[in-house]
């Protein structure tokens, strides 16, 4: 669990990055309409969650290092207590309790947001704010700035507006021990869910049934929501990278690609497994699968401190291209296929991405124009794949086959730790698990 102490430490670290006389104002998320008067389940904005652990809509975090506060000052704007509203829509902490429980110096009701923003922004040189994240928040900030600019003798408006996101995102990129512990749980729950889907699968089952098995396992472990739309693609559907219709029956002899990860305490797992619906790979499926797996195992060996994603991607592409040539899916020489990038027909996405509170997590991939080196504490995915279209020039046994194998790694001081090895990925491991069921 992430403790209040850690949330407060994050606020302190952010405050320490601000120049003198700065205020940082960070809006949280609001509810999103699903249809008419029903809403999607509330999901806090990841930056706001990272800094506060406060899970109510319409909240604002206020941080200032103005000398008038005699040190750092932390404030929260949140929905007021309101018995009638709480009967309908759920409990609210309220500003009085927020000061108490979350140790803010000041807390205010959303009803006084306009005055609070004007008061907090006044007399600061720099305003740090994530402009463009929420249009309503932009309006509230620009209204407050207008008020300050139109009363020039009393209230000085900040002269600089600076994006606070790069500062926060750089903090989020390297995970603490506590964050890694939470991500380990997200990964374990997700791996179990993949095992459950493999165990359930049988010829003729529907993609949505496998999705239900996955979500059941998530929810039973306290992870009510998936970290992203679960992908269950049988047969050719596996070649649609972000396939989420999940409507079709899966024919005997097909592979199933499942890309699913739980969100646990806000943190994502992101696992893909590909397996035969009837529990046995055909020789052609096995050959392609082993090629993807070999490339993934090589990548895992190489994703260590100091390595960069592009250099490891290049090595993965070499392995995949050699294999594609051997299998006759590419008919040029390996050198020509690499030079012409012909492999892109079958592998058209990146090798991996940062993982954290967002599935495609924040943080820069380059530094001073060069690929960023991996560092201890970063969490990344490694997810090579091959997607063979159903097209006439392709040998029949390979047509319409999509394979991806995706694991989550923490970069450690000496190498990496795979968080997601609870879900089998060798051909023998998958066939053995499916045979038991």
Annotated catalytic residues are 37, 242, 259, 270, 349, 353, 360, 383, 387, 404, 406
Rounded least distance, CB 259 to ligand GLY, Å: 5
**Among Mn ion, ligand GLY, none, residue 123 binds (CB under 5-8 Å by kind):** none
Rounded CA separation 352/28 (Å): 28
Q: Which CA distances in Å does 55 have to 14, 159, 247, 368, 410? A: 20, 32, 33, 36, 27
Residue by residue, DSSP assigns 234-269 as: EGGGGGSTT------B--TT-EEEEEE-EEETTEE-
* Residue nearer to Mn ion on the CB measure, 47 or 259: 259
3-state percent helix, strand, coil for the chain, nearest multiple of 5: 40, 20, 40
Min CB(266)–Mn ion separation in Å: 17
Closer residue to Mn ion in complex, CB, 11/190: 190
Nearer to Mn ion, 222 or 229 (CB): 229
407 contributes a contact to ligand GLY by CB under 6 A: no
For the bound state, the minimum distance from the C-beta of residue 229 to ligand GLY, rounded and expressed in Å, comes to 8
Binding to ligand GLY in span 358-387, by CB under 6 A? 359, 383
**In the 8-state DSSP scheme, what is residue 158?**
P
Using the rule CB under 6 A, which residue among 228, 244, 376, 397 binds ligand GLY? 228
The nearer residue to ligand GLY, 108 or 267, going by C-beta atoms, is 267
Q: Return the structure tokens found at 244.
A: 């989420």
Q: Which residues lie near Mn ion (CB under 5 A)?
A: 259, 270, 381, 406
Shortest Å distance, C-beta 410 to Mn ion: 15
Interface mask toward ligand GLY for 257-296; x: CB under 6 A:
--x----------x--------------------------
Residue 41 makes CB contacts below 8 A (sequence gap 6+) with 224, 225
Q: Could you give the CA distance from residue 102 to residue 418 in angstroms, rounded to a whole number?
A: 34
- Which is nearer to Mn ion, 254 or 381 (by Cβ)? 381
Q: Are 276 and 422 in contact (CB under 8 A)?
A: no
Cβ(178)–Cβ(6) below 8 Å: yes
Residue 228 binds which one of Mn ion, ligand GLY, none, with CB within 5 to 8 A depending on kind?
Answer: ligand GLY
Residues in the chain: 437
Does position 206 bind ligand GLY by CB under 6 A? no
């Amino acid at each position: 669990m992430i403790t209040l102490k850690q949330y407060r430490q994050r606020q302190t670290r952010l405050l320490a990055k601000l120049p003198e006389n700065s205020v940082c104002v960070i809006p949280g998320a609001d509810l999103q309409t699903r249809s008419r008067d029903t809403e999607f389940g509330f999901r806090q904005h990841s930056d706001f969650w990272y800094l506060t652990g406060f899970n109510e809509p319409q909240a604002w975090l206020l941080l200032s290092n103005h000398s008038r506060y005699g040190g750092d000052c932390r404030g929260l704007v949140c929905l007021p207590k309101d018995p009638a509203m709480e009967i309908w829509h759920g409990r609210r902490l309220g500003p009085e309790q927020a000061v108490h429980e979350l140790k803010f110096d000041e807390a205010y009701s959303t009803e006084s947001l306009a005055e609070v923003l004007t008061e907090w922004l006044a007399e600061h040189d720099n305003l740090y704010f994530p402009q463009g994240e929420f249009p309503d928040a932009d309006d509230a900030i620009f209204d407050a700035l207008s008020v300050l600019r139109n009363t020039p003798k009393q209230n000085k408006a900040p002269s600089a507006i600076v994006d606070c996101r790069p500062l926060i995102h750089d903090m989020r990129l390297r995970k603490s021990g506590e964050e890694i512990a939470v991500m380990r749980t997200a990964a374990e729950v997700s791996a179990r869910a993949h095992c459950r889907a493999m165990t359930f699968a049988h010829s003729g089952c529907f993609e949505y049934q496998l999705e239900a098995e996955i979500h059941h396992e998530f929810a039973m472990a306290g992870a009510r929501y998936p970290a992203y739309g679960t992908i269950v693609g049988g047969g050719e559907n596996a070649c649609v990278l972000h396939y989420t219709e999940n409507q079709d029956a899966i024919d005997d002899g097909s592979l199933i690609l499942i890309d699913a990860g739980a969100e646990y305490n806000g943190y994502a797992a992101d696992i893909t497994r590909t397996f035969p619906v009837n529990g046995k790979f055909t020789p052609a499926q096995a050959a392609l699968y082993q090629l993807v797996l070999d490339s993934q195992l090589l990548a895992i060996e190489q994703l260590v401190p100091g390595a960069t994603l592009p250099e490891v991607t290049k090595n993965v592409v070499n392995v995949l291209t050699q294999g594609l040539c051997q299998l006759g899916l590419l008919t040029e020489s390996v050198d020509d296929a690499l030079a012409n990038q012909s492999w892109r027909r079958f592998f058209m996405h990146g090798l991996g991405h940062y993982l954290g509170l967002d599935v495609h997590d924040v943080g820069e991939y380059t530094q001073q124009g060069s690929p960023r080196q991996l560092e201890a504490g970063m969490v990344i995915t490694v997810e090579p794949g091959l997607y063979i279209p159903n097209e006439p020039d392709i040998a029949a046994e390979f047509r319409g086959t999509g394979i991806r194998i995706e694991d989550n790694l923490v970069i450690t001081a000496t190498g990496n730790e795979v968080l997601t090895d609870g879900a089998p990925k060798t051909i023998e491991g998958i066939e053995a698990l499916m045979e038991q069921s």
